[in-house]
Amino acid sequence: MRDFLSERFQNFSLYECRGSSRLYECLATEIANDDELLRLSEHAREDQPTPNLLLGAVHYLLQRNDHPLKRFYASLTTVPDKPEEAFYWFKDFCLKNEKEIKQLLIEKLVQTNEVRRCTYLYPIFCHIYRQTKQPLSLIELGSSAGLQLLWDKYAYRYDNGSIVGNANAQLVLTAEMRGGQLPLLIKESPPVAKRIGVDLHINHLNDPEDYAWLKALIWPEHHTRRTAFEQAVVQWENEASNLTLMEGNGVDLLEEVAAGIPLDSTICVFHTHVANQIPTSEKKKLKDCIKRISRYRDIFHIYNNMSDRLLHIDRVSEGKESHETVGRTDGHGSWFEWLLEQ
């Protein structure tokens, strides 16, 4: 178990943190070789990404703790100290707060609610709307607080500099295009008929604990992500009454939820960076459920991490799938590929 965890931290440092968070890159490398911290990490649920959970738990507690480790976090100090010197204080903090960290590892889930992923959801929903000419009914699996369900309420700026989406939005999301060509974008957001999110735990942004946890999952150096989150929360406060958020297993509830969707709208089931936490047997159940729904109405499935890291769109009709691959995406939404033919 410990060797497996060590490898997870090493891979996290190398493939996720490098070039994105020097602090987490350094910490994860050291944790991978530290038996005491690996033993502490064993308290995380098996279906959770352990490095994100441990680092998030420390960040969460550090927000309200006075400890020298704070000096290394760009989210908690103006001029942070060198990341290469942080590990001594990181371990010291973990050992002094071991009981609280254990409890967080047992109870909490990694639910980042990364609003910048909407930068690639917007062109996907434009793509679907051009095909169906119907309002979209959204069902998000792993919705957390539901910020991505409000994608049509934000504005977007892509490589050509023009702004699309909600022209009155305070939050303008940007992303870099890598590979392919700029997608055909609808200037004004496509209409949305329903917004339904399902998650094992719904985060309530008006709950200080839930708010602080989601904020702690944002990496310390990622100021743009933090600002986008804070602005999206303001939008959420205005739109919360238009969201339906349900606690439970999304795969088990999907058929029941879909049955309540108006027939004059297009069902779009989507999940981003969630399926890596779904067991293989549950992934099969999800695909089978979507096929059953498709026997009485067309349904779109937007996803990544089901079988690979690429972003995909499936249109399923009468049990038959037509498949499109969008391309690679950055986990935090700072860039994406668009490989679809226009």
What CATH number is attached to the domain comprising 138?
3.40.50
Alpha-carbon span 101 to 247, nearest angstrom: 24
Do residue 70 and residue 141 come from a single domain?
Answer: no
Do residue 53 and residue 138 come from a single domain?
Answer: no
Do residue 179 and residue 239 come from a single domain?
Answer: yes
**How confident is the model over 118-144, as pLDDT tens digits?**
999 999 999 999 999 999 999 999 999
**How confident is the model over 290-319, as pLDDT tens digits?**
999 999 999 999 999 999 999 999 999 999
Do residue 270 and residue 161 come from a single domain?
Answer: yes
Do residue 163 and residue 89 come from a single domain?
Answer: no
Q: Which of 91, 107, 123 is the last residue of a domain?
A: 107
Do residue 125 and residue 102 come from a single domain?
Answer: no
Do residue 241 and residue 326 come from a single domain?
Answer: yes
Range 163-179 average pLDDT:
93
Q: Is the pLDDT confidence value at 101 over 70?
A: yes
Alpha-carbon span 249 to 282, nearest angstrom: 10
Q: Which pLDDT does position 107 carry in this prediction?
A: 95
- pTM for the structure as a whole: 0.92
Owning domain of residue 301: 115-338
pLDDT > 90: percent of the chain: 91
Do residue 274 and residue 130 come from a single domain?
Answer: yes
Q: Which pLDDT does position 92 carry in this prediction?
A: 99
Question: What's the burial of 70, exposed, middle or buried (CB within 10 Å: 0-12/13-18/19+)?
Answer: middle
Q: Which of 85, 107, 129 is the last residue of a domain?
A: 107
Q: Is the pLDDT confidence value at 146 over 80?
A: yes
Q: Which pLDDT does position 276 carry in this prediction?
A: 86
Do residue 101 and residue 130 come from a single domain?
Answer: no
Q: Is the pLDDT confidence value at 342 over 70?
A: no
Range 216-224 average pLDDT:
96
**How confident is the model over 248-268, as pLDDT tens digits?**
999 999 999 999 999 999 999
Do residue 309 and residue 176 come from a single domain?
Answer: yes
Whether the CA torsion 25, 30, 33, 35 is positive or negative: it is: negative
Do residue 62 and residue 119 come from a single domain?
Answer: no
Q: Which residue has better confidence, 278 or 196?
A: 196
Q: Which of 107, 132, 152 is the last residue of a domain?
A: 107
For the chain, how many structural domains are there in total? Answer: 2
Do residue 17 and residue 71 come from a single domain?
Answer: yes
